[in-house]
Amino acid sequence: MLLVVVLMGVAAAATAAVRMSRVNVKGLSDAGDRMNVLVVGSDSREQLNEAQRRRLGTGSADGLRTDTILLLQIKGDSAAMLSFPRDLFVTRCDGSQGRINVAYALGGPSCLVDTVTELSGIPVSHYLEVDFLGFAQIVNAVGGVNVFLDEPMSDRDAHIDLPAGCVALNGRQALGFVRVRKVDNDLGRIARQQRFIKELAKQVAQPSTLLNPLRLFRTANAGGAALTADRGLGPVDLAKLARAGRDLGGSSLPSFAVPGTDSIIGGAAVIVPNEAEAERIFRSFRNGSVLERKRAALRPSQVEVMVLNGAGEAGLAGRAAELLTDAGFVISNVGNAPAVDRTVVRYRPERRDEANLLAGQLPGGAVLEEVSSGEPVTLVIGPDADLSTATAPLLLDEVELIAGVEYNGAGPPPADC
C-alpha cells in the first residue's frame, strides 16, 4: 500500500533535509549487492485524535499491528516488490502461530523482521514504516491520485462510496481504497494496493508536482514527517531508494504476493501459504533473479547445458542432470571434469543470459565464469553443490501478481482518465 509513499518520502527527505523518526530494529542483515527494505504500514491510531479517526475512517481500535507488509528489493535503478497478506498464517518470532500482522504487536519491528526472514529466507537490510495520517497527507500533498473502477465501490467501514469509472482520490479516499477488504478478498486488496502504488508514482513524477515548488515542499514535509526508519538507514541508502523510486510508475515493475489458500484455523480466517509456489518467489528474491527483467523471454527449454562432475563424488553429475531436466533445461552431455572448489557455470560471452538463468536455479549458488571457447553453457558441480532440489525458474508471465485486473480497481486507468 505504502511503497511509493515511502520512496517519495525518503527522496524528499534526502533533498529537503526533512527529519525522520528512528527506531531500533534487531535482525537486519546485509544482502550483498542488493538492498531489501521491509516497508510497513502501521494501523496505529495513537497519533490520531477523535476527529481525525472519524475523518479517515480508521475506527477506534488501539494497539499496534501492520496493516500492510511489503518487501522492496533494489539494485541500481531496478526494483521488485513482494506483498505479504496480513492474514498470512506463519510461525512468529516468539514461536506462536497465527496471522503475520500480529508479529508487530508481539515484539515491534524486530519481531516482524525476524518473522519475515524465517518465513522467506530473505535477509532484510532496512526497515521503514508509515502510519495512516502520513499516508493521507502525502496523497493530498501531490494533489490526489486517479484510479479506474469497473463498478462502484462502497464500504462503510472503510468510509468510501466511489462511483464507477475514473475517480480522483484524495487522501482519505485513497486510504479507504487501499484498505477496503469487504468487496472481495485479501488478494484483491493487495492488487489494488499495487495498482495504487504505480499510479501514485506516476502522479509524483508529473511536472505539476516536480515543477511546483509549493507542492514539492508539501510533499517533502509530509513524506519526511510520516516516516519511521531503522537507525542504520543512511544517506547512501536513501539515495538508492530514491533512484529506484523513479521507475515505480512503469508497467515493468515485478510485483508479487505470497500465494496461499483461505482457511479457518483456531476460529480465525487465515491464508495458509502454498509452500512450493511461495518458495519459487522467495528464491528469486534471495538470488536476485527477480531483478533480471529479460528472464521472462528466456525459458529453460531454450538453454542447453553440459553437466560435469568436479566434486569427485560418483553420480553427482547424473543427479544434477536429472534435477535440471525436471526444471525444464536441456542436457547436452554428462561427464567428469578436473576438481573444482566451488560449483561453476562456464559460458561463452553471447550466452550470459542463459548462464544467469541456470545459476539462479541452483540452491547453493554458483560462480559465473566467462570462457572464449568450449560448450556454450557448462555446469561443473563442486563440493558445495546442493542437489536436494531444483525448481523451474520464476517467470513473470506465469506468476506475477495476481495483481490481476479481474479485481475492481486493480486495472490501469485509460489514457483519458
| Amino acid making up residue 12 | A
Same domain, 19 and 107: yes
- Tell which of 284, 319, 347 closes a domain: 284
Are residues 98 and 244 both part of a single domain? yes
Q: Are residues 117 and 197 in the same domain?
A: yes
- Three-state SS for the chain is CCHHHHHHHHHHHHHHCCCCEEECCCCCCCCCCCEEEEEEEECCCCCCCHHHHHHHCCCCCCCCCEEEEEEEEEECCEEEEEECCCCEEEECCCCCEEEHHHHHHHHHHHHHHHHHHHHHCCCCCEEEEECHHHHHHHHHHCCCEEEEECCCEEECCCCEEECCEEEEECHHHHHHHHHCCCCCCHHHHHHHHHHHHHHHHHHHCCHHHHCCHHHHHHHHHHHHHHEEEECCCCHHHHHHHHHHHCCCCCCCCCEEECCEEEEEECCEEEEEECHHHHHHHHHHHHCCHHHCHHHHHCCHHHCEEEEEECCCCCCHHHHHHHHHHHCCCEEEEEEECCCCCCCEEEECHHHHHHHHHHHCCCCCCCEEEECCCCCCEEEEECCCCCCCCCCCCCCHHHHCCCCCCCCCCCCCCCCCC
Q: Which residue has the higher pLDDT, 336 or 79?
A: 336
Q: Which of 125-134, 143-152, 374-383 has the lowest mean pLDDT?
A: 125-134
Kindly state whether residues 104 and 38 are assigned to the same domain: yes
Number of neighbours of residue 125 by Cβ within 10 angstroms:
23
| Domain co-membership, 304 together with 189 | no
Q: Is residue 212 part of a domain?
A: yes
Average pLDDT rounded to a whole number, residues 125-142: 84
Answer yes or no: are the C-beta atoms of 38 and 249 closer than 8 Å.
Answer: no
Does residue 203 surpass a pLDDT of 60? Answer: yes
Is 144 within the bounds of a domain?
Answer: yes
Cell of 3: 511503497
Q: What is the CATH number of the domain that holds 208?
A: 3.40.630.190
Range of the domain at 359: 300-392
Q: For 232-243, write each residue's pLDDT tens digit.
A: 988 778 777 766
Single out the residue of 266, 415, 294 nearest to residue 352, CA to CA: 294
In a domain, 189, yes or no: yes
Reference 389, options 271, 276, 237; nearest CA is 276
Last residue of a domain, one of 284, 315, 348: 284
- Nearest Cα to 364, choosing from 346, 383, 347? 383
The mean pLDDT of the chain is: 79
Are 107 and 208 contained in the same domain? yes
Please determine, for residue 158, whether its predicted confidence score (pLDDT) is greater than 70. yes
Is the same domain home to 279 and 308? Answer: no
Same domain, 278 and 343: no
| Predicted pLDDT at 79 | 84
Q: Please give the tally of structural domains in the chain.
A: 2
**Is-contact 147 167, C-beta < 8 A?**
yes
**Share of residues in the chain with pLDDT > 90 (%):** 33
pLDDT for residue 339 is more than 80: yes
Task: Write down which residue in 232, 257, 284 finishes a domain.
Answer: 284
User: Both 280 and 309 in a single domain?
Assistant: no
Count of residues in the chain:
417
- Residues 105, 253, single domain; the answer is yes
Least confident of 46-50, 70-74, 173-177: 46-50
Do the domain assignments include residue 78?
yes
pTM (2 decimals)? 0.69
Residues 99 and 59 in one domain: yes
**CB atoms inside a 10 Å sphere around CB 152:** 13
Residue 67 sits in the same domain as residue 128: yes
Q: What is the pLDDT of residue 186?
A: 78
Binned at pLDDT 50, 70 and 90, residue 249 comes out as low
User: Which pLDDT band holds residue 404 (cuts at 50, 70, 90)?
Assistant: very low
- Return the pLDDT at 211: 53
Please report the pLDDT score of residue 217 as a whole number: 56
In a domain, 221, yes or no: yes
Max avg pLDDT among 12-21, 96-105, 311-320: 96-105
Which CATH number belongs to the domain containing residue 345 in this structure?
3.30.70.2390
For residue 55, tell me if it sits in a domain.
yes
Residue 401 lies in a domain: no
Would you say residue 292 lies in a domain? Answer: no
Mean pLDDT confidence for 181-195: 81
Higher pLDDT, 200 or 60: 200
The neighbour count for residue 59, using CB atoms within 10 Å, is 13
Is residue 173 over pLDDT 70? yes
Q: Exposed, middle or buried: residue 141 (CB in 10 Å: 0-12, 13-18, 19+)?
A: buried
pLDDT at 403: 41
